[in-house]
Amino acid sequence: MKSKVALTGREVRLGDNEQIISKTDLKGRIIYANRPFMRISDFAEPDLLGIQHNIVRHPQMPRGVFHMMWETLKSGQEFFGFIQNLTANGDHYWVFANVTPDQEPGGKVVGYFSVRRRPSARGVATIQALYADMLAVESNAGPARAIEASRAYLAERLGQQSYERFVLALQLG
């Protein structure tokens, strides 16, 4: 169960070549976390293994982004996105995430594999403003319509461009 932690407003940054890697089962419970994940998130391995990956979910992340991520993964596709995570002590860290279905030979999905790297500064600046707008839309829509309203707002803002192309351009661009 995720406990409440006071937000500090302090940012922890990944090193230029550092990668956070984790694996989850189909329900999103962590079955593997590498040392950089434990160091950055300030969680020990026993505090992560078997726990829902949303233990590091920051409250300032729009629900619509996670809904889109799960929709993408459940369709068998990989997901790319900027994610703000929360540490055990209330600090936060931004990552550029690539999450892929983890498949057995034969194609059966058994979980998810995530590699997170340091995001571009331009990407974070751009996405912070967009995510703040999405959060406002979610709040105004109320819990029952938050995800739908957030996703509609994102689609309107991006126009014909997919979220994946948008975030890849911010990260690589």
Q: Is 18 helix (H, G, I), strand (E, B) or coil?
A: coil
Query: pTM for the whole thing?
Result: 0.94
d(CA 102, CA 152): 29
Residue 74: how many other CB atoms lie within 10 Å: 12
Domains and CATH numbers, the chain: 19-172 (3.30.450.20)
Nearest to 86 by CA among 164, 33, 29, 12: 12
Query: pLDDT (tens digit, 9 = 90+) per residue, 27-86?
Result: 999 999 999 999 999 999 999 999 999 999 999 999 999 999 999 999 999 999 999 999
Burial of 65 (0-12, 13-18, 19+ CB in 10 A): buried
Q: Which two tokens stand for residue 101?
A: 């279905």
